Structure 1
Amino acid sequence: MVTSSALPLNSLSAVSPGGADSKQENVAPGDIAVGVVIGRASEYFDFFVYGIASVLVFPALFFPFASPLTGTLYAFALFALAFVVRPIGSLLSMAIQRRWGRSVKLTVALFLLGASTAGMAMLPGYATLGASAIWLLALFRVGQGLALGGSWDGLPSLLALNAPEHRRGWYAMLGQLGAPLGFFVASGLFAYLWTHLNSADFLSWGWRYPFFAAFSINVVALFARLRLVVTHEYERELQAHELEPCNEGELMRQQGHNVLIGAFASLSSYALFHIVTVFPLSWILLFAKQDVGDFLVVQVVGALLAAAAMPLSGLLADTFGRRRTLGAVAIAIGLFALVTPPLLKGGALGQDMFILVGFILLGLSYGQAAGTVTSNFLPQFRYTGAALTADLAWLLGAAFAPLVALGLSAEFGLISVSLYLLSGVAATLLALRVNRRLQTIKD
């Protein structure tokens, strides 16, 4: 269902909260896309820096008393904390925005994200602080999660609404490009440091550099995004589309089912997200013979393939429909799940194929995963509904993926990874079918 607020951009030039006339300037979808990509790339860089460090650094630095496998599982448990508290961050940030405005909310969120990341970079290990080091790492991870929830600025929804009707899949893809770009930079940095430093230097100070870089990138991204969202043109467009916080209780009473459908509709993509980024690095380090530095380089190439696949996802979505495209790619992820065990057991060639094919599928699916059913929300609920839908999708699909995949594969074999991915595929196909039935009933 496309609501009446989903107007093309050229029809919004005369719209303002106060009913101003056509003297108002247009806001081009391309300009919105730039803001979305910049903001998401910086967030995902932070995201992946922590994820990679959870494999290469944290088990030895913060859990030296445990075996490498157990230490990595502990690190993945802390990794999940950010996704658990992310919905809380969204709710708190909505309250801040209602009281002090969007720019204050965004500033608080990104400074909290940067401060938490920089705090990790300066954190001594277990050998120095004992258990306090673990608690501080957990605290900083919670800070990252709260900040990620608060960084929602409404620009992806504005981009989707302002995009030409026949190119909405393409513009939806642009908002997702930050993920492979962030992973490309993060994995490239760690690959360089891992291969050019000895083990002692890497664990002592080398791993800290990407965290400091993440803080610097966040500062730049903050001002780039503020430059967009505080302008009169963007404020006018956001308000014209009613992209403002709503009462969360009223949202859940009237359209809570859309939050659930939206989260489950993209579950196959979110489940795949960490299965091809964070989990395989841990599996290679613990159970395979391939050099970690070489594997990181393969993941860098995979990130480029994902970025290249995303434009294709936009073309497919505009040709066949976003929901049909997401369903077809979910089926492809299911087939990929079936060959996961032989690929990861197939030596360096099989493991590299797992990464490259997996990243292509990730690009095709994740390119259309955000906002697939966002148009189901009434205009006044779309801003908050889109944020909570994404939070729930991350929590259900991605938060515990590395922990579950590594723990179960160590205990029961790689077939458990296949089952995990297949469960996400089943959830996606069921949610898309339910959504289609609901749309048919409404029509």
Structure 2
Amino acid sequence: MTSTTKSDIDNGSTAIEMQTPAGHSPVAPGEIAIGVVIGRASEHFDFFVFGIACVLVFPSVFFPFVSTLEGMLYGFAIFSMAFIARPFGTALFMTIQRRWGRSVKLTTSLFLLGTATAGIAFLPGYNTLGGASIFFLAMFRALQGFALGGSWDGLPSLLVLNAPKAKRSWYAMIGQLGAPIGFLIANLLFFYLINSVSAEDFQAWAWRYPFFVAFAINVVALFARLRLVMTEEYTLALEESELEPISTREMLDKQGPTIFLGAFAALASYALFHIVTIFPLSWILLGESQLIGNVLIVQCIGACIGIAATIASGVIADRIGKRTTISYMAVLIGVFALFAPMLMSGTPLMQDAFILIGFALLGISYGQSSGIVTANLERRFRYSGAALTSDLAWLFGAAFAPLIALGLSMHFGLIAVTFYLLSGAVCTLLALRISKHLAASE
């Protein structure tokens, strides 16, 4: 095992991220960054299109037999199915990679993701298919998550691998830019449709267009990523760094505690993720406190703030360390949680402030949330370990956030949002403390 210094641990870095493996030419960081951003943005666009549709479309199209609130909750329950399926997809596609290679794995997973998304676009509503429409909606949603589990290409690790030593956190945040970019595009598309067609036409057919666009974006992303992952430099970088597609069973047997610790270390930002992006839209629509078009515009502004904050996270973390950055942001998210009920129950201006401030906190926290504990993984487990850790962080922190936040807030008030965010912040601080203690004792 290669030794790891205390400063490396504090920044969430590892020996394999400290230098390009000897014996081959490094891949240009700028070229990798393009592939990383395109790939992550396409994945998040798919998920945000579904999340926004759970609020604006699905209650009337697939759940017209219940109230709007219940329709949203049913939609959010189906929304969570992708995150439940994702770890299983990772397990299967790691097996595919071991047998047939990365290109087969990536092509198959992204084709499945695009097909499931397009399938939703063609899916008739409840008034045509009855309960079968809900079944197929749930099936396509689960397939989305299952496919996303196979989309891990290791490009973020390769990006950091080829980055200048003094800017490791800066390059680490580039992969995280895909989330606010994907959200921005999804919101702009829905805003355009809502303002371009009548409400009747939007509910009848126009809502399907974002799902068609998602399929097209996936095709572009597939070729952009294949162009990189099939290069000789990329292959050598993985092989010489001993990064292997380990089976999930072996991962959990030998590195299980570290995997779960890594997932909980990022919980504050993942808990905030859908509380800022999806929940406000549902709460405001039900309360009829603002026009939906205005909310979508505010969320677009919030996404831009999130992009800027994610970029800023790279500068901040390079100066004070990744672990310190995540710790401070967990505290700030906890403070923000205390004001959530006041802001979301207040005037439209206060609700907008909740969204914008939330995006600023999310950008800095989420921008450095990847790989915070993976330095404790053995070298050969880091490729698969990073994928599985991310899957579990999404599952524990973000999968049920809209469902829990909206359901509990309607019954017990917005204090439920406070407790949800606080629980994420506490988990992050405890996980970071434990991982630091374990790293120091090794």
**Shorter-chain TM band:** over 0.9
Runs (5+) with no aligned partner, structure 1:
16-23
Residue 398 of structure 1: aligned partner:
398
CA deviations over 1:387-433 (Å, ceiling 9, x no partner) = 11000000000000000000000000000000000000000000000
1:325 aligns with 2:336: no
CA contact (8 A) 2:190 2:210 kept: yes
- Aligned residue for 1:8? 19
| Aligned counterpart, 2:75 | 75
After superposition, the C-alpha distances for 1:1-27 in whole angstroms (9 at most, x for unaligned) are 455433423xx3x42xxxxxxxx4321
Q: Distance in 2 between matches of 1:360 and 1:282?
A: 20
Corresponding residue number in structure 2 for 1:225 = 225
How far apart in 2 are the matches of 1:374 and 1:58? 38
- Residue pair 2:90, 2:146 contacting (<8 A) in 1 also: yes
**Which residue of structure 1 lines up, in the alignment, with residue 65 of structure 2?**
65
2:166 counterpart of 1:166 = yes
Distance of 1:28 and 1:219 partners within structure 2: 23
The letter of the residue matching 1:240 is: E
Provide Cα deviations, 1:81-101, integer angstroms capped at 9, x if missing partner.
000010000000001001100
* Superposed CA offset, 1:61-103 (max 9, x none): 0000001100100000000000001000000000100110000
The CA deviation string for residues 295-322 of structure 1, in whole angstroms up to 9 with x for no partner, is 0000000000000011111111111110
Aligned to 2:141: 141
Write the letter of the residue equivalent to 2:170: W
Gaps of 5+ in 2: 5-12
- 1:210-359 map, 5 Å: 210-359=210-359
> Would you say 1:115 and 2:126 are equivalent positions?
no
Letter in 2 for 1:163: A
Q: Counterpart amino acid of 1:92?
A: L
Bigger CA drift: 40-49 or 25-34?
Answer: 25-34
Moved runs in structure 1, 4+ residues, more than 3 A?
1-4
Match of 1:155? 155
Residues 170-209 of structure 1 mapped to structure 2, 5 A cutoff:
170-209=170-209
Alignment-derived partner of residue 96 in structure 2: 96
Query: Any conservation in 1 of the 2:121–2:212 contact (CA below 8 Å)?
Result: yes
Amino acid at match of 1:131: G
1:237-284, CA deviations, whole angstroms, 9 ceiling, x for partnerless residues? 122222221133332222211101110000000000000001110001
Contact 1:258 1:373 in 2 (8 A): yes
**Any conservation in 1 of the 2:160–2:172 contact (CA below 8 Å)?**
yes
What displacement does 1:216 show? 0.4
Q: Deviations over 1:19-78 (max 9, x none)?
A: xxxxx4321222222111110011111111111001100111000000110010000000
Quick one: which amino acid aligns to residue 309 of structure 1?
A: A
Could you tell me whether the CA contact under 8 Å between 1:154 and 1:243 is conserved in 2?
no
Aligned pair count reads 431
Name the TM-score, length of structure 2 as normaliser: 0.96
Partner of 2:131: 131
Per-residue CA deviations over 1:203-240 (Å, capped at 9, x if unaligned) read 11110111100100100110110011011111111222
Task: Answer with 162-171 or 322-331: which moved more.
Answer: 162-171
Tell me if structure 1 keeps the 8 A contact 2:262–2:389: yes
1:168-199 CA-partner distances (Å, limit 9, x unpaired): 11011111000111000000110111122211
Map of 1:35 onto structure 2: 35
- Secondary structure of the corresponding residue to residue 261 of structure 1: helix
Cα displacement string for residues 149-182 of structure 1 (whole angstroms, at most 9, x for unaligned residues): 0100111122223322321110111110001110
Normalising by structure 1, we get a TM-score of 0.95
| Counterpart secondary structure, 1:339 | helix
Deviates most, 257-266 or 191-200: 191-200
Superposition map of 1:339-418 within 5 A: 339-418=339-418
Give aligned-pair identity as a percent.
61
| Residue of structure 2 in register with 1:18 after alignment | none
How far residue 345 of structure 1 moved from its aligned partner, in angstroms, is: 1.2
Match of 1:439 in 2: 439
| CA distance, structure 1, for counterparts of residue 78 and residue 371 of structure 2 | 28
RMSD: 1.1
Mean CA deviation greater in 292-301 or 249-258: 249-258
Distance 2:191 2:211 in 1: 14
**Aligned CA distance change for structure 1 residues 332 and 4 (closer, same or farther; 3 Å):** closer
Distance in 2 of aligned mates of 1:280 and 1:247: 39
> Hey, what's the Cα distance between the residues in 2 that align with 1:417 and 1:150?
32
Q: Is the 8 A contact 1:290 1:347 kept in 2?
A: no
Counterpart of 2:124, as a letter, is P
Q: Residue 64 of structure 2 contacts residue 126 of structure 2 at CA under 8 Å; is this kept in 1? A: yes
Aligned residue in 2 for 1:20: none
What is the alpha-carbon distance in structure 2 between the residues aligned to residue 230 and residue 185 of structure 1? 28
Are the structure 2 counterparts of residues 415 and 162 from structure 1 closer, same or farther at C-alpha, using a change threshold of 3 Å?
same
What CA distance in whole angstroms lies between the structure 2 residues aligned with 1:436 and 1:263?
Answer: 15
Contact conserved, 2:267 with 2:424, CA < 8 A, in 1? yes
Map of 1:421-440 to 2, 5 A cutoff?
421-440=421-440
